[in-house]
């Protein structure tokens, strides 16, 4: 056997061992995150007496879907589900538009005070939402928008998630070759045309990352809906989940677990569909400063 063939086989074997060790390590690190989710899903099919059984079990011998039927019986869960879905979608679309425009402006348009203004925008990440929620509530109350979904859409789309999205988009646009913009200018395109025809199509990874982060932030929003909404038919899912209680105020654990299981489905679909672009967008957003 030739030495180069033996060396190649040894190299492939070493790479296979390193890959197996890496996968095993990642699986071990993911265990603390996967087990609670798996327990939530399996427990939603358990009878109530088995949820806190000692010793605990992951699966049940007598699965039941009664909890899923109860989810839609005690409150308008389908309407609340739709509320969260369309609010998160609207917030994501607005954030994508605003952050891509702002990110392109900070990355490609030179104007006086650009860097200072960008630092001021980033400072918005340091302001907790609890600080501004009272004046914002008073403002929306004066214009009659309390107990509507407009505060949730406007505040979330233009708050901290949008600031983070602007940062990601700016970093991605900075990393794009300048020659693309120069070639587009020779073809007669202005900034708007370059943003729409050149930059946005190339920014799909960054847009996917922004979409996932924004959708997740809006989907899990709890404080703002609690402050602005009072009607159950307007509630979002984070508000609805704690309200599954019996006549004595006790927790309906199986029903809550079933509702929580249903609530994670859209986020899983969004992440799985855009996972590859999400990783690329986060990786490319830090290439240049």
Please report, rounded to a whole number, the percentage of residues in the chain having pLDDT higher than 70.
89
State the virtual CA torsion across 33, 36, 38, 43 in degrees, nearest 10: -170
Gyration radius from the chain CA atoms: 24
Q: Does 140 score more than 60 pLDDT?
A: yes
Q: Class for domain 70-284, per CATH? A: mainly alpha
Residue 182: CB atoms within 10 Å: 10
pLDDT digits (tens, 9 = 90+) for 122-137: 888 888 888 889 999 9
Residue 85: CB atoms within 10 Å: 15
Q: Does 21 score more than 50 pLDDT?
A: yes
- Six-digit token pair at 10? 């040894």
Of the listed ranges 62-71, 141-150, 192-201, 265-274, the least confidently predicted one is 265-274
SS3 245: strand
Q: Does 211 score more than 60 pLDDT?
A: yes
User: Hey, where are the domains in the chain?
Assistant: 3-43, 70-284
Helices (H), 149-285: 150-157, 160-175, 178-186, 191-193, 200-202, 204-219, 223-228, 237-240, 253-263, 265-273, 275-284
- pLDDT-derived band of residue 287, with 50, 70 and 90 as boundaries? very low
Give the total residue count for the chain.
Answer: 289
Q: Does 179 score more than 60 pLDDT?
A: yes
What is the distance, to the nearest Å, from the Cα of residue 195 to the centroid of all Cα atoms in its chain?
A: 24
pTM metric for this prediction: 0.82
Mean pLDDT of the chain: 85
Q: How far is CA 193 from CA 59, 175, 183, 207, in A?
A: 56, 19, 12, 18
Mean pLDDT of 169-175: 89
């Amino acid at each position: 056997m030739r030495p180069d063939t033996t060396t190649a086989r040894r190299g492939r074997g070493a790479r296979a061992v390193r890959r197996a060790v890496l996968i095993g390590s990642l699986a071990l690190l993911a265990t603390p995150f996967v087990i609670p989710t798996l327990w939530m899903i399996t427990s939603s099919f358990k009878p109530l007496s088995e949820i806190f059984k000692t010793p605990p079990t992951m699966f049940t011998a007598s699965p039941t879907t009664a909890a899923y039927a109860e989810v839609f019986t005690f409150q308008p869960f389908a309407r609340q589900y739709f509320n969260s879905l369309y609010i998160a979608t609207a917030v994501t679309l607005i954030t994508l538009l605003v952050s891509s425009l702002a990110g392109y402006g900070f990355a490609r348009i030179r104007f006086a005070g650009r860097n200072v203004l960008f630092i001021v925008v980033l400072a918005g990440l340091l302001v907790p939402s609890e600080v501004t929620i009272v004046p914002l509530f008073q403002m929306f109350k004066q214009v009659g928008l309390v107990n509507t979904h407009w505060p949730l859409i406007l505040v979330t789309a233009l708050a901290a998630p949008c600031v983070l999205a602007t940062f990601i988009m700016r970093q991605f646009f900075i990393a794009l070759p300048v020659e693309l913009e120069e070639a587009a200018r020779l073809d007669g395109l202005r900034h708007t045309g370059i943003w729409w025809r050149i930059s946005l199509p190339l920014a799909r990874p960054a847009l996917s990352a922004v979409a996932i982060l924004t959708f997740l932030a809006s989907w899990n929003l709890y404080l703002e809906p609690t402050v602005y909404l009072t009607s159950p038919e307007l509630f979002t899912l984070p508000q609805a989940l704690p309200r599954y209680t019996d006549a004595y105020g006790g927790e309906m654990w199986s029903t809550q677990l079933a509702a929580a299981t249903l609530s994670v489905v859209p986020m899983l679909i969004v992440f799985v569909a855009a996972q590859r672009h999400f990783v690329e967008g986060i990786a490319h957003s830090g290439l240049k400063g």
